[in-house]
Structure 1
Amino acid sequence: MESLYLLIPLSVVLAFGIGALFWWAVKSGQFDDMEGPGHRILHDDDMPAEANENKAGDEKNN
């Protein structure tokens, strides 16, 4: 019975902590784009970023 005096407040504090972490994640935008990363991996991007920038710069010059 005495252990309930410790376990009940501890579980309430834990529930509030989990709720606060969930609230922070929602407010910081963690759940905004759920499908984007799954689609982004399908795009073929074989050239390094520097080559893409150079190619874009060459096309603008022509």
Structure 2
Amino acid sequence: MLAAGPLPDVRVVDMNDALCGKQTCAAVVGNIIVWRDYHHMTATYALALAPYLAKAAGL
């Protein structure tokens, strides 16, 4: 985010709150498995977040 922030016409959307809480990152949210491995979320969770990302991006 720091690299893109100062660029004109670049919108930065912080989705960290959707991935992790203040102390830990949940393995399951609702009935959706969040993480495929230690660094990658599942495609199912990414699709579940898509409407929130679109809204945050103004789409």
TM-score w.r.t. length of structure 1: 0.23
In our comparison, the structure showing a higher alpha carbon Rg is 1
TM-score w.r.t. length of structure 2: 0.24
Normalized per residue, the structure richer in strand is 2
